Amino acid sequence: MALAETFARRRAGYTRGGLTTALIFLPPALVLFTVFIILPIGEAGWYAFFNWNGLRTPTNFVGSDNFVQLFGNAVFHRALINTALIVVVSLIIQLPLALGMAVLLADRRFGAVTFRMIFFLPFILADVAAGLIWRYMFDGDYGLVSQASVALGGDPIFLLASKDYAFAGVLIVIVWKYFGFHMMLYIAGMQSIDRHLYEAASIDGANAWQRFRFVTLPGLAPMIRLSVFFSLIGSLQVFDVVRAMTFDGGPLNTTHTLVSYLYIFGITRMRVGFGSAVGIVIFILCVVVAFGYKRIFMRND
């Protein structure tokens, strides 16, 4: 009986201590979250119904006109398609490439660590710096790609000046820059798989493909789902690379993503109300994708 009372008193003490800690640390975090997250979202939702240039108090209420203009705008449609292309290329090219390189470099063979570092370095590089580097690489007059074409007897290649192929250059850079991050995720996941499973599979006569299919892939499933989640959310937020490579979405507004469209047509043109409407659409899209994906595919992770 005395022992039970002792445990009860200790538990009550731990509860009071946890409550005291929460009362001390929760309010500052809650205030910061409210000021920098909740209030800006609410203000953007309010400003989206005004024709407002960002100065003084908005008074010109236009209702849903900003959203009507947005969904009727051809450049926004192109930005939406471009963002979808980033998602598709990330899922069918970038992630399989990262998985293949992870399989090759997961073992502690000679030179594996060096190659991991080489492939991961682009991810560390700032997005703006990467965009500027590749803008020079794709330059039709001085870029290495164009110079290589001329050296082989072809014509100069003005990739970023072509409205048909400029976004292909953006996709190449996105794959180059981010596949190393996903590769490292897969390597970390593969190193956590029990090595005895591979030994048992080898004893049972499984070849390399069978070990990959029946041991590696199931063991990597949680990491693959997490990688896809990061890829989806990251694809919806691409901005810096596009701005650095294509001079604000050129040529002829054919390389915009959703975020670069918001920046150019909302902020730089002092149409803050319209930009807020774009921001609300992006916010809703991100929330739907994030929570929908987590509920469907990551429910047990």
Work out the average pLDDT over 186-197. 90
Q: Reduced to 3 states, what is the DSSP secondary structure of residue 61?
A: strand
Work out the average pLDDT over 167-178. 95
Q: 116-140, pLDDT tens digit by residue?
A: 999 999 999 999 999 999 999 998 8
> Residue 97, exposed/middle/buried by CB under 10 A (0-12, 13-18, 19+)?
middle
Work out the average pLDDT over 209-231. 93
pLDDT recorded at residue 6: 52
Q: 20-33, pLDDT tens digit by residue?
A: 777 777 888 888 88
- Listed in sequence order, the DSSP H helices in 72-153 are 74-89, 95-105, 112-124, 127-137, 144-151
Work out the average pLDDT over 1-17. 53
The pTM of this model reads: 0.88
Which is the CATH superfamily of the domain at 80-245?
Answer: MetI-like (1.10.3720.10)
Structure tokens at 75: 């450049």
Where does the pLDDT of residue 250 fall: very low under 50, low under 70, confident under 90, or very high at 90 and above? confident
User: Percent of the chain having pLDDT more than 70?
Assistant: 94
pLDDT at 57 over 90: no
Q: Reduced to 3 states, what is the DSSP secondary structure of residue 50?
A: strand
Where does the pLDDT of residue 7 fall: very low under 50, low under 70, confident under 90, or very high at 90 and above? very low
Q: Cβ–Cβ contacts within 10 Å for residue 213, how many? A: 12
pLDDT at 16 over 70: no
pLDDT recorded at residue 11: 56
Higher pLDDT, residue 13 or 133: 133
CA 48, distance to chain mean position in Å, is 25
Where does the pLDDT of residue 259 fall: very low under 50, low under 70, confident under 90, or very high at 90 and above? very high
pLDDT at 230 over 90: yes
pLDDT at 180 over 70: yes
pLDDT recorded at residue 3: 47
pLDDT recorded at residue 101: 93
pLDDT at 112 over 90: no
Task: Say which range, 15-29, 111-125, 264-278, 282-296, has the weakest mean pLDDT.
Answer: 15-29
Question: Per-domain residue ranges for the chain?
Answer: 80-245
